[in-house]
Amino acid sequence: MPIYEYHCEDCTTTFEKLVFSTSGTAVVECPKCGGSRTRKLFSAFASSGSAEATGGTLPCGRNSGGAFT
């Protein structure tokens, strides 16, 4: 399921929302102010930072340069 980022022009909140249809015509309401003046931002899948995306510290806590290649 794709997660899109939306920006509310009323309260300038940026939020993420799961979107089930790809038509892009559905009105997405801002969860903060309830406004419908939201704009879809184009980002890849969830930007909620995971270590996989940045290639930094491994989830298990080891530093890279270990045994697995």
For the bound state, the minimum distance from the C-beta of residue 5 to Zn ion, rounded and expressed in Å, comes to 14
CA distance 27 to 61: 41
CA distance 58 to 6: 29
Q: Which stretch binds Zn ion (CB under 5 A): 2-10, 39-47, 49-57, 58-66?
A: 2-10
Applying the rule CB under 5 A, the residues between 8 and 67 that interact with Zn ion are: 8, 10-11, 13, 30, 32-33, 35
- Beta-carbon neighbour count of residue 8 at 10 Å? 21
For the bound state, the minimum distance from the C-beta of residue 68 to Zn ion, rounded and expressed in Å, comes to 45
4: its two tokens: 């899109």
| Contacting residues toward Zn ion, per CB under 5 A | 8, 10-11, 13, 30, 32-33, 35
